[in-house]
Chains A and B, each alone.
Chain A
Amino acid sequence: MSTALVRTSPDAGLARPARAARLRGLGAQALTGLALAGFLLLAGVLAPLLAPHDPLGQSAQSLTGPSADHLLGTDEFGRDLFSRVLYGLRQDAVVALLAVPVGAVVGTLLGLLGGVNRWADAIMQRTFDVLLAFTALIMGVTVASIMGPGLPAVVLTVALVNIPIFGRIARNAVLGQRNRDYVVAARVLGVSPTRVTFRHILPNVLDGLIVQVALSLSMAVFIEGAMSFAGIGITPPEPSLGSLLRTSIAFLDQNPAYAVGPMVVVTLLVVSFQLVAEGLTKKLLRR
């Protein structure tokens, strides 16, 4: 009742923080993650410019070790592994940046709907239960067996895995906010339920969702890797981080550097997204 610290300062006259200040507000951890992830994804997007060789171009020099020309050596068909890793990164960028937003938006919308309408909620909850019952890889097998392996199957799998996750978070957040006074106040003022949901509730539940986006991005990399590793993801000769890892196993004794490239990149990518997620959690959710 009378702790001096409870009183919030009035910061009178301060304008809204500028974008730079808000970025700094994310904290060192999240910023480090963001920088690392940005660097890796950019490298993937710019692969055609950065790659020293054609990722599909075969040559006679197979399974050489690292050299000045081939930074990571070559694979069993004499293709430059460094270039293949860059192009593989590109595939992962596509998966992560396409599938995660789709899953996040669809899942959030369904979750919000469920939080507002009781019937929609019942249906949604059971659907989410079913989706959650599949582990990512089983879901991948199912999707790939229906539409055939390849990039689209990976994207769809990642999106499907994310829908119930975001749905549940959004729904719980809505339930938590729904009886807050400001929501009641809006209803009493005659604000329509849809407007209440999007104008009042959504901005207040966004923090949790943003953190989940960062987590889901790392999961997307992981799922792509797992699916391609299992042979139901991105199909050869297209390179991907997962498929590179898979083939590298057979040649570990001839070119140990074969596995190093994709392994390091996958690890860095996952770690960077995790850093972002963890940093955001500290900043956004523990206020």
Chain B
Amino acid sequence: MTMTPSLSAEPTVAEPVDESMPLLEVTSLRTHFQTPRGTLRAVDGVSFDLLPGETLGIVGESGSGKSVTAMSLLRMVRRPGKVVGGEVRFRGQDLLGMDEDQLRTVRGSGMSMVFQDPMSSLDPIMRIKDQLVEAMLSHGKFSGAQAQARALDLLQQVGIPDPQARLDDYPHTYSGGMRQRVMIAMALANDPDIIIADEPTTALDVTIQAQILDLLAELNRDLGTGIILITHNLGVVVRVCSKVAVMYAGRVVESGPTEEIFAAPRHPYTQALLAATPRLEADRDAPLLPIPGRPPGLVEPIAGCAFASRCAHADQRCHDEAPPVSAADGRAWSCWRSAETGVLAPQPRPAEADESTAVDAEPAAAQDSSSSDAKALLSVTDVSKEFASRGRGLLRRERHVVNAVEGVTIDIAPGETVGVVGESGCGKSTLGKLIMGIHDVTRGRIEFDGRDLTHASRSDRDWFRRNVQLVFQDPMSSLNPRMTIGDAIREPLEIHGIATGAAARTRVAELLELVGLDPAVAPRLPHEFSGGQRQRVVIARALAVEPRLLVCDEAVAALDVSLQAQIVGLLQRLQRELGLAYLFISHDLATVRHLSHRIAVMYLGRVVELGPAADVVANPLHPYTAALLSAVPEPDPVVERSRSRILLQGDVPSPLNPPAGCRFHTRCPIGPMVNAERTICATQQPELAPGVHHAACHFSGELRAAGLEDPR
């Protein structure tokens, strides 16, 4: 099931050096892992090639083999993994046949890699300059003096501010985004022909991600460096890559020019992936379509098409016979249903739409969002949280105060979903913990159904525990690994005296059924479930006490796109059936937009904008919201290439020492950094004006250009 697409260079890419000869040719690459359960075919016949100066995106969900493919190219797969077949040709040389010494000349100077985690990829005890110089000297392309000079150039090239001074610093003084720039500088050090970037922005905030992606695109444009970008994020591919290869179960199922594949996918998996991905510009009524089932195990041999069991188009032939590779007009795909015509029928809508993510009418209370406090289920009034961190030194006299959350006012009506978005360190998780009572508030009031929680009595707290529950980010760590899931769900029932004995068992079965799991799985341990199933268990446990509000802290962030859509669908169904209210905390604007009735945007502990979801996304009033929206890559080349962009400079300032006045003024594209006369931003804290859709900005509404649904 290999494919050899005849891929042509895209016009958007730099002038190819030699169009006839691919830089990199990968043919039927196979990498297997020997595991106790048998041979795991992580990469099972992958073929693609890269012309000089091209940008190729390899997309797929976890377990699709995309990272292993990248590691295989440079023969860096560790035991028990082994490249067992195929061919990798770099400038015509066979990489798989080379000995270690020859290979070393290719690594770094021919092809270099940028990894996901910039925090652990730099040596913490070596100055940045020394690390860059070391990388250059190891290939003998540069003399010592040349390398010293080039180190400065490289830092400049990747956009490190004040590079001369930063050369002598150690990695810990660099922020995450800056470290990723340094990693890219190191990858560039020996002037490679290809940079392989494996999820280079996954660990970064969205505004920083936008900076790094722009940097990669710029390097491709200016230096003609070929880029292979490996990612699970379809939007990231659109932003950088002219060509894309979609991987599923260790194989490339479809490849070709990005625009064409996104406009008319020819493999059902690509189609399903696109339908499951939340978008900013999508109508809120358009449901996300989850992909049913889960990916195959890769140990058992697959007779037919690997995707057949989850495919909406599959017929008997798909299950029995491996599909052929079709190639035409620069595209390649392997699917029986589109093999001859190259046209795939539109994805059928599921007959029973209960787990699709169609959204019902707005809840009654959300229609007048300025609803009086009496109607609010939860009301958070002017809440602040300070964390004191002790200074160093023997006596620890110095005290720093971090204002993790400051003056936040939000309320949630029954049955309403309020999304809280923001980058790391903005205080969104702390807000969730304050509402859950995990942290005590420093100032302000939190009321649930009219009862004050900040000074709650013991019985009030118990009552509160039954009404507000929490769903965590990582479904693995939020379940006790030594407790069966049945016990885990039963525990709250017994503690609160809701049900015991046989009644509790019945209730556990009901709850499992409610979240779409077979009640027979109750005696199993968490490790026997997949991520999506575990998250269902966590939700079932939270629902055991029949809460009225669920706080979801990044509840779908750890899941793959297809599972994400399942959980989002589940949450929406539960809201319809049980009238639950959600506080949905996430860094992912598209998901928040999809799920929420109202959105609150946080920056450095403060809510900077609050309003109806569609309105906030279409007409952001605060410049930060506008910048955040424009930083989110959309999985749609048409939208992505036509919209205007606001690129924020620099990093989020430290919450230890937030800027005076408006906390955003140091990065604001319309603030005092651009308009010198706007001193008010640096001196006076803007307040959140009252209204249905409001922003805490002195020049609210000025920067609307980034609105996605604005007439362009």
Give the distance in Å from the alpha carbon of A188 to the alpha carbon of B470 in the complex: 7
Per the 8 Å Cβ criterion, residues 53-88 of B in contact with A are 60-68
- Which single residue of chain A is at the shortest CB-CB distance from B437? A188
Give the residues in chain B near A14, CB-CB below 8 Å. 528
- Which single residue of chain B is at the shortest CB-CB distance from A4? B42
Shortest C-beta distance, B229 to chain A (Å), equals 13
Count contacts on B: residues with CB < 8 A to the other chain: 55
Task: Report the number of A-B residue pairs with Cβ-Cβ less than 8 Å.
Answer: 115
Give the distance in Å from the alpha carbon of A200 to the alpha carbon of B481 in the complex: 9
A117 within 8 A of B: no
In contact, B61 and A2 (Cβ under 8 angstroms): yes
The listed residue with most A CB atoms (<10 A of its CB), out of B64, B298, B495, B545, is B495
Per the 8 Å Cβ criterion, residues 460-490 of B in contact with A are 461-462, 465-466, 469-470, 472-474, 477-483
In contact, A2 and B199 (Cβ under 8 angstroms): yes
Give the distance in Å from the alpha carbon of A184 to the alpha carbon of B60 in the complex: 33
B317 within 8 A of A: no
Give the distance in Å from the alpha carbon of A185 to the alpha carbon of B555 in the complex: 13
Chain A 188-201 per-residue mask, 1 if CB under 8 angstroms from chain B, else 0: 11111001000110
In contact, B545 and A4 (Cβ under 8 angstroms): no
Give the distance in Å from the alpha carbon of A181 to the alpha carbon of B61 in the complex: 25
Select which of B477, B528, B545 is within 8 A of A11 by beta carbon. Answer: B528
Q: A1-B232, A2-B62 are in contact. Are A190 and B462 (CB under 8 A)?
A: yes
Give the residues in chain B near A5, CB-CB below 8 Å. 33, 35, 40, 42
In contact, B474 and A181 (Cβ under 8 angstroms): yes
- Which single residue of chain B is at the shortest CB-CB distance from A183? B480
Chain A 1-21 per-residue mask, 1 if CB under 8 angstroms from chain B, else 0: 111111111111010100000
In contact, B481 and A10 (Cβ under 8 angstroms): no
Select which of A2, A187, A191 is within 8 A of B67 by beta carbon. Answer: A2
B51 within 8 A of A: no
Give the distance in Å from the alpha carbon of A5 to the alpha carbon of B297 in the complex: 10
- Which single residue of chain B is at the shortest CB-CB distance from A3? B67
Shortest C-beta distance, B537 to chain A (Å), equals 11
Chain A 175-218 per-residue mask, 1 if CB under 8 angstroms from chain B, else 0: 00000111011111111100100011001100000000000000
- Which single residue of chain A is at the shortest CB-CB distance from B230? A2
Give the residues in chain B near A191, CB-CB below 8 Å. 491-492, 495
In contact, A182 and B479 (Cβ under 8 angstroms): yes
Select which of A187, A189, A192 is within 8 A of B438 by beta carbon. Answer: A187
Count contacts on A: residues with CB < 8 A to the other chain: 31
- Which single residue of chain A is at the shortest CB-CB distance from B297? A9
Give the residues in chain B near A186, CB-CB below 8 Å. 480, 491
Give the distance in Å from the alpha carbon of A195 to the alpha carbon of B538 in the complex: 19
Q: A4-B68, A182-B478, A204-B480 are in contact. Are A190 and B40 (CB under 8 A)?
A: no
Give the distance in Å from the alpha carbon of A6 to the alpha carbon of B35 in the complex: 12
Per the 8 Å Cβ criterion, residues 507-550 of B in contact with A are 523, 527-530, 538, 541-542, 544-545
Shortest C-beta distance, B80 to chain A (Å), equals 9
Per the 8 Å Cβ criterion, residues 6-45 of A in contact with B are 6-12, 14, 16
Give the residues in chain B near A10, CB-CB below 8 Å. 528-530
Give the distance in Å from the alpha carbon of A3 to the alpha carbon of B62 in the complex: 7
Q: A182-B479, A189-B541 are in contact. Are A2 and B469 (CB under 8 A)?
A: no
Q: A182-B478, A182-B479 are in contact. Are A188 and B438 (CB under 8 A)?
A: yes
Give the residues in chain B near A187, CB-CB below 8 Å. 438
- Which single residue of chain B is at the shortest CB-CB distance from A191? B495
Select which of B297, B474, B492 is within 8 A of A190 by beta carbon. Answer: B492
In contact, B64 and A2 (Cβ under 8 angstroms): yes
Select which of B297, B478, B481 is within 8 A of A185 by beta carbon. Answer: B478
Per the 8 Å Cβ criterion, residues 433-459 of B in contact with A are 436-438
Shortest C-beta distance, A142 to chain B (Å), equals 34
Give the residues in chain B near A12, CB-CB below 8 Å. 528
- Which single residue of chain B is at the shortest CB-CB distance from A6? B62
Shortest C-beta distance, A182 to chain B (Å), equals 5
In contact, A1 and B199 (Cβ under 8 angstroms): yes
Give the residues in chain A near B469, CB-CB below 8 Å. 188-189
Per the 8 Å Cβ criterion, residues 144-200 of A in contact with B are 180-182, 184-192, 195, 199-200
In contact, A4 and B472 (Cβ under 8 angstroms): no
B496 within 8 A of A: yes
Select which of A1, A16, A180 is within 8 A of B62 by beta carbon. Answer: A1
B116 within 8 A of A: yes
In contact, B65 and A4 (Cβ under 8 angstroms): yes
What is A's interface to B at a CB cutoff of 8 Å? 1-12, 14, 16, 180-182, 184-192, 195, 199-200, 203-204
15 A-B pairs within 8 Å (CB atoms) are namely A1-B116, A5-B33, A5-B35, A6-B63, A10-B528, A11-B528, A181-B478, A182-B477, A184-B438, A188-B465, A189-B492, A190-B466, A191-B495, A195-B495, A203-B480
Extra 14 A-B pairs, beta carbons < 8 Å, given A3-B67, A204-B480:
A2-B65, A7-B63, A7-B297, A7-B530, A181-B478, A182-B479, A184-B438, A185-B478, A186-B491, A188-B438, A190-B466, A191-B491, A203-B482, A204-B482
